[in-house]
Structure 1
Amino acid sequence: MASPKKPLRTGMLLAAILALLTVIIAGCGSQSKDNNAATSQATGDTRIIKHEMGETKITGKPKRIVTLEFSFVDAATQLGVTPVGIAQENDDDIDGLLGKKIDFTPVGTRKQPNLETISSLKPDLIIADLNRHKSIYKELSEIAPTIVLKSRNSSYEQNLASFGVIADALGEKEKGEQILAAHKAKMEELKKGIKAGEPRSVLLGVFRSDSLSAHGASSFDGQLLEQAGIHNALQNTSEPTVKLTLEQIAQADPDVIFLVEADEKLISEWKQNPLWQNITAVKKGEVYEVNRALWTRYRGLGSAEKILEQAISLLYPAQSK
């Protein structure tokens, strides 16, 4: 009579074995998920990027990016990413910035980007400027992950910092560090062309219809020249750029003037004025015209190198022959 119970015991044993196997398999699956999560975190697939307007979560390596300032275009292309959308004022702006043509869609001007056009490009990252775009950060963030950095009215060092953030946002942090190191090495090499203890002070300015918009020591070009040993005539300005009258320029009395986009009518008037004639730079014939886009608008790593190269060639013409 006991024999009928054996199949029941066998069935219970099989059920217990199956249950144990289920637990083991589930445990392995959970461990596999944990390992995958650890790998994802280690490779930086998802990361939090801190910027001027807060923090933005970015996953993977963005490829469809929109840039709303020229220095961001320079940074992205150096890191191997061509923006799908770029804000610009003139059709040849990007050609001048990069020294080559690239395919992209214009998304309005830097001052007034076109949100509809930006949205139509389906970007996976937007890089905006604090000075120009903080008021539309919310609208940009609704289109795609957006980081806001300093470019306009920022210093050279602030632009270097922005480059590092862009590299991290693009998932190219290590490559960005290598590019920055190469840039700094290039700048150090260029500095060797500047005489030790260079005594001349320089004034860089955009000549308007009634005044000069001068770039002080804390401006992008002012600071990079300062670091190279070329001293700015405006040391104690509260802002990167300040408006100067002819009287104030004469008071600063720069040894060299880098003239950007001179207003011919204003210059003609000033040339007749004894104040202009008595400025050291004018008396010594050291007033040089330079390209406004390169010196005041582009603000990228490549631009910084070209600015220093040009400054050295103008200050030491005998060396460049």
Structure 2
Amino acid sequence: MRPIQRLLIIILVTVISACGHTTSQREPETAVPNSPTSDCQVIRHELGETRICGTPHSAIALDPHVLDLMLSLGIQPVGYAEVSEHLLGSPKLGEPMVQIKYLGNRVTSNPTHIGTRESPSLEAIVRLNPELILKEWPDTPLYTNLTKIAPTLIVRNSSADYQWQQGLLTLAQVFNREQQAKQVIDEYEQSIAQAKAELDLVANNSNVLLLAMGGVDKIAIDTEETFVKTLLKELGFQLTTPKQLQGREGRIDISLEIVPQLDADMLFVSAGWDSTVEDIQNLWRQHPILRSHPAARARRVYVIDGQLSRIRGPIASELMLAEIRKLLLPLGSSNQLTPENSDPVSQVNPN
């Protein structure tokens, strides 16, 4: 970037900062009462309060969860920051994003690539001049800088019991789309009820364990609520925590040798780190220690894409629910174990 361009951007950020869009670093403001001349609202969130006047017409999504929520409400982003390891192709900073995994078929606005979720470009965001910036997780240093550009809203809190319905209702309030949000939630609940009835026999006869895996040296168990765990519970499945890990919290790393000792007759394995679904499927097919687990011998190992767990919104829930139904419904008609020398992995590869 030329020196004069960089100087202009710095001046623009300073001027915007002086206008004061967000109240997080100041004394909390009182929401402006409804009147013929004012339609402002103050949204409280994890890092403070954000004052938004009118309905924003240009918003930036700084992560896939926010993008999922926006698209579910029919809101298109002007800019988007993807998780670094899930970028498709080689998008150039400041240019339209052509491919977005899982959500791309619902994006029609050709959003500008503004960097990654981990490191968004403030300069690229300034150029878009957004009316609102949306982010899932609290990040105080980044948030402070973003508020100098435009009102910035943190969609979720840091508690483990956050669900996408909360974030959806928050955005619905901001964009005046409460009816659309109610419809999305109602349709999801109907889909869950239908799938739960269909999978009742399987759920009542299965002891399920969730693993995160990026290779034989990267295996972990999440003891807190996760996207997939919540979904399986809503379907009526009983999820287990290994006895040796009970009482511990968070994501717990385990060794490869521990895996065959884990008590479960069904395993869901989330492909994470920089591993693909195919990578983890092949490990379970080829590694003798993994193949020795009873769930592998019964061909009840289901490898899922960890990116859906990172999106974890209503669209991701719809995709994951469709895969679970497709994979598990056949078990309702047959509980026969497959031979030990057969493929231990049931195909799971959401598209």
TM-score (norm 1): 0.75
- Aligned 8 A contact 2:68 2:314 in 1: yes
Matched, 1:242 2:252: yes
Cα distance in structure 2, aligned partners of 1:162 and 1:83? 16
Determine the structure 1 residue equivalent to 2:166.
161
Q: Secondary structure at the match of 1:111?
A: coil
Which residue number in structure 2 is paired with residue 74 of structure 1?
68
Asked if 1:47 is matched to 2:41, the reply is yes
1:258-306 Cα distance to aligned partner (Å, 9 max, x none): 3323656993798233xx3442211212122333322x22211011122
- Write the distance in 2 (CA, Å) between the matches of 1:245 and 1:80: 44
Name which of structure 1's ranges 86-95 and 65-74 shifts more when overlaid on structure 2. Answer: 86-95
**Aligned to 1:256, which of 266, 291, 297?**
266
CA deviation profile, 1:150-190 (whole Å, cap 9, x unmatched): 389955x5222111112112232343233222222222222
- How far apart, in 1, do the equivalents of 2:216 and 2:157 lie? 26
Task: Flag the 1:129–1:292 CA change in 2: closer, same or farther, 3 A.
Answer: same
Q: Please, which moves more after superposition, 86-95 or 99-108?
A: 86-95
- The offset of 1:308, in angstroms, is 1.9
Cα distance change of structure 1 residues 251 and 318 upon mapping to structure 2, 3 Å threshold: closer
Deviation at 1:143, TM superposition (A): 0.6
Aligned to 2:92: none
**1:303 maps to which residue?**
316
Question: CA–CA distance in 1 between the matches of 2:186 and 2:37?
Answer: 28
Is the Cα contact below 8 Å between 2:210 and 2:267 reproduced in 1? yes
Identity of aligned residues (%): 25
Higher helix proportion (structure 1 or 2): 1
Unaligned runs of 5+ in 2: 1-32, 90-98, 334-351
CA contact (8 A) 1:233 1:252 kept: no
SS at 1:257's partner residue?
strand
Q: Aligned residue for 1:267?
A: 283
> CA 1:216–1:266 in structure 2 vs 1: closer, same or farther (change >3 Å)?
farther
Structure 1 alignment gaps of length 5 or more: 1-35
Checking the alignment, whether the CA contact within 8 Å between 1:258 and 1:287 is kept in structure 2 is yes
Matched, 1:85 2:79: yes
Which structure: larger Rg? Answer: 1
**Is 1:134 the equivalent of 2:140?**
yes
In the TM superposition, what are the counterparts of 1:86-105 in structure 2 within 5 Å?
86-88=80-82, 89=84, 90-91=87-88, 94-102=100-108, 103-105=110-112
Aligned residues: 276
Classify the secondary structure of the residue corresponding to 1:306.
helix
CA contact (8 A) 2:45 2:154 kept: yes
User: Aligned ranges for residues 1-321 of structure 1 at < 5 Å?
Assistant: 38-39=35-36, 45-88=39-82, 89=84, 90-91=87-88, 94-102=100-108, 103-130=110-137, 133-150=139-156, 157-196=162-201, 197-208=204-215, 210-216=217-223, 218-234=225-241, 236=246, 237-239=248-250, 241-259=251-269, 260=271, 261=276, 263=279, 267=283, 271-273=287-289, 276-294=290-308, 296-317=309-330
* Residues 76 and 269 of structure 1: CA distance in aligned 2, closer, same or farther (over 3 Å): closer
